[in-house]
Amino acid sequence: MDLSQVLDSLRVVQLPMRTKFRGITTREVAIFHGESGWGEFSPFLEYGAEESAKWLRSGIEAASGPKFPVHHDSIKINGTIPATDDREEIAALIATYPGAEVFKVKVGTGIDSDLSRLRVVRDLVPKAKLRIDVNGSWSVAEAEGNLKAILDEIGPLQYVEQPVASLDSLRELKRILKGELLIVGDEVIRKTEDPLKVNLEDAVDILMLKVAPLGGIKKSIDIARHHKLPVVVSSALESAIGISHGLRLAAALPNLEYASGLATGSLFKTDLATHEINNGEIRLGEVEPNFDSLERFAAPKERLEWWRERVKGCWEVAA
């Protein structure tokens, strides 16, 4: 597809969030239309052109790219719990993930608040598997202490996602943990210039695949094949349009052992479409953006202009 097709069909919306996530309460996303349907371009506002170009590639792939194999017709999801300590808010959110057997809890806001949040989740869904995401905010020593405190009090975790930031720290922590807790690498792969050039040996046990930040389904599959690690698929807080592409990635992976973090639509008050969750799963299917939502949450004209400029700035890099 060419640049003018993207620019001419570009729509920008500001979706209100149910709860603060990544420090934001409104998610601004752009979508556009091509011969295969809708694609999303929604790098976070502070991202530069180099990083954002990967998101654009993924959106273009969705809107105009090839079809990928479908190995699953519905995808098991995990519930995502942001870094809030409000029990009512957590309970209300859990109710939006009907049947979910796995919950991913954001931690890294201080061990006392992390533990209290995990206690609430443990209490509300006692049978669920829990995973935690630290977003790389701990040092190796903090990770060692905090993980011990969490495992002692909360019980086993399915895994810890990006407990520490750097490759060296991940290696050191993995050595210390001796396989007692699995480590997922997210930022270590998503924030690097070339994910194929990172040596993940002895650093992580599982690879996080997020379709937009990695540059699309084809690229994500290449990365998974290259690293020969089990994978987890998650979202990057896309609208339902971007989530569709994440679901297609999950469906294209024959060995999908872990529940996918693709139910983050629950974090929005209103989304562009709905991926209904039943028995902890989302069925694959095409969604169209809701026309009323596109109108109602349309960004002001100057924001649309800003996004058009952003697309132009990423276009050359993406190509």
| Set 106, 129, 148, 178: catalytic member | 106
The verdict on whether 178 is a catalytic residue reads: no
How many angstroms separate the CA atoms of 33 and 60, rounded? Answer: 9
Q: Is the dihedral of CA 57, 264, 231, 252 positive or negative?
A: negative
Number of Cβ atoms within 10 Å of the Cβ of 68: 17
Smallest distance from the beta carbon of 209 to Mg ion, in angstroms? 11
- Are 107 and 120 within 8 A, CB to CB? no
Q: With binding defined as CB under 5 A, does residue 133 bind Mg ion?
A: yes
Smallest distance from the beta carbon of 12 to Mg ion, in angstroms? 25
The verdict on whether 210 is a catalytic residue reads: yes
* Residue number with CB closer to Mg ion (232 or 247): 232
- The stretch near Mg ion (CB under 5 A) out of 32-40, 68-76, 158-166, 304-312 is 158-166
Give the residue nearest to Mg ion (CB).
186
**Which single residue is written with the structure tokens 């859990």?**
94
Smallest distance from the beta carbon of 135 to Mg ion, in angstroms? 6
For the stretch 85-108, what's the b/e string if a residue is b when 16 or more beta carbons lie within 10 angstroms of its beta carbon? Answer: eeeebbeebbeebeebbbbbbbbb
* Residue number with CB closer to Mg ion (186 or 238): 186
| Set 210, 228, 301, 312: catalytic member | 210
* Residue number with CB closer to Mg ion (162 or 239): 162
Q: Which of 40, 114, 186, 238 binds Mg ion (CB under 5 A)?
A: 186
Residue 295 φ/ψ region, left for φ over 0, alpha for ψ in the -120 to 50 degree band, beta for the rest: alpha
How many angstroms separate the CA atoms of 15 and 183, rounded? Answer: 32
Show which residues are catalytic.
106, 210
- Give the footprint of Mg ion on this chain (CB under 5 A): 133, 161, 186
